[in-house]
Copies of this chain bind each other. A is one copy, B any other.
Amino acid sequence: MAAAPGRTTAERAEDGVLRTLAVGALQLEAGGALPEVELAYETWGALNADASNAVLIQHALTGDTHVAQGAGDEPGWWDALVGPGRPVDTEKYFVVAANMLGGCYGSTGPSSLDPDGTPWGSRFPFVTIRDSVRAEARLADRLGIRRWHAVLGGSMGGARALEWAATHPDRVAHAVVVAIGGYSTAEQIALAQAQLLAIRQDPHFRGGDYYGGPAPEAGLGLARRIAHISYRSEAELNFRFGRRGQGAENPLEAPHGAGRRGRYQVESYLDHQASKLVGRFDANSYISLTEALMSHDVGRGRGGLQSALARSRAQFFLASVNSDRLYFPEQSDELARALPGEVPVHSIDAKIGHDGFLTEIGQLGAELRRRVFTL
């Protein structure tokens, strides 16, 4: 086991800097194995003497470990929630964020090298949310964390937080699950399938073995467009873009045939979203994590949702975004009903849709201080 990081402020590692730990071989839920798994992670603050102040924050589908600003200038994606003086106060809590198994931000994934030094590509095995949580449990072991004070996440990060509470009932004191239900629905599976096909049908995909050649950028870009629409509410798209043309482009002008007309502003916007993701994400990881998300079902093999969660000793904190049309608030409500006791679902009020779990997370700050982060 690697040495635990410093347990006093004096010894603390630099905040928000990516490090990597090897966590060994992993047998996988759906069959197959990975001979050697590394997880990339960042930390903020310092673990206290009895290791009781550790907090795990789980990123969403294409997210990364940079939850909060640290030693560098780069802002974090939950800065409103995490940092010195923030609800998750890094002066008091030791915050850990790990890149998910299958990802492309430092953890073992399809673009990693296999033991022979070749990128896994098409041979990267199917990993589930549970596989990821099992790998993260080993990371916790190596960091000297027996029990998390809290595991938090939104969207797919929420799925992992929930899965932590069910897989390791005595290792999670608080589970904060935002903008996701207890399982991926047919609707979510359907939208995911379209995204997978968009990538797999790109001729550059080559079955997943495209490393060294051109990447399936068009396919990944299309997957992102499909996903991004579902991340935003229809009201948000209509209000921001309406039917306007992009700059001087005229969507009604196409003297030379279809496909050569000007773009609508919303098309240009989605082109931009696609291009941004293509520049920062690996298509195979997108597939790997999307298939993991499709597998999300905390009740699977545990007698259903209620029975799976009954064994957890965690306190649950649930929240949904009121305009979310990807992970509907009703799914958080259903999850709440499956939990022991009365668990309220906090509502994030945002017009934007699902992405409100990122942009409006600050709305949960006061309640989180009151119920979870009381130090």
**Residues of chain A at the chain B interface (Cβ within 8 Å):** 29-32, 110, 122-126, 128, 183-187, 189-191, 193-194, 196-198, 200-203, 207-208, 218-219, 222, 225-226, 229, 234, 237-238, 240-243, 251-261, 264-267, 270, 284, 287-288, 291, 294-295, 297, 300, 325, 328
A194 to B218, CA, bound (A): 11
Can you list 9 A-B contacts with CB-CB less than 8 angstroms, sorted by A residue number?
A128-B252, A187-B229, A189-B264, A190-B229, A190-B267, A194-B229, A198-B198, A201-B201, A258-B291
CB of A196 to closest CB in B, whole Å: 8
Contacts of A234 in B (CB 8 A): 185, 187, 328
A126→B257 contact, CB < 8 A: yes
Given A185-B237, A243-B186, A300 and B252 touching (CB < 8 A)?
A: yes
Contacts of A264 in B (CB 8 A): 186, 189, 193, 294
A87 to B65, CA, bound (A): 62
A266 to B253, CA, bound (A): 39
B266→A287 contact, CB < 8 A: no
B183→A261 contact, CB < 8 A: no
A83 to B128, CA, bound (A): 53
CB of A195 to closest CB in B, whole Å: 10
Contacts of A297 in B (CB 8 A): 243
A257→B294 contact, CB < 8 A: no
Given A189-B266, A234-B187, A266-B190, A254 and B30 touching (CB < 8 A)?
A: yes
Count of this chain's copies in the oligomeric assembly: 2
A32→B186 contact, CB < 8 A: no
A201 closest partner in B (C-beta): B218
Q: Identify the 4 closest CB pairs spanning chains A and B, nearest first.
A: A31-B255, A126-B254, A187-B234, A186-B241
A266 closest partner in B (C-beta): B186
Contacts of A256 in B (CB 8 A): 31-32, 125
CB of A193 to closest CB in B, whole Å: 5
A257→B189 contact, CB < 8 A: no
Contacts of A189 in B (CB 8 A): 241, 243, 264, 266-267
A222 closest partner in B (C-beta): B197
Contacts of A252 in B (CB 8 A): 29-30, 128, 295, 300
A240 to B186, CA, bound (A): 8
B200→A201 contact, CB < 8 A: no
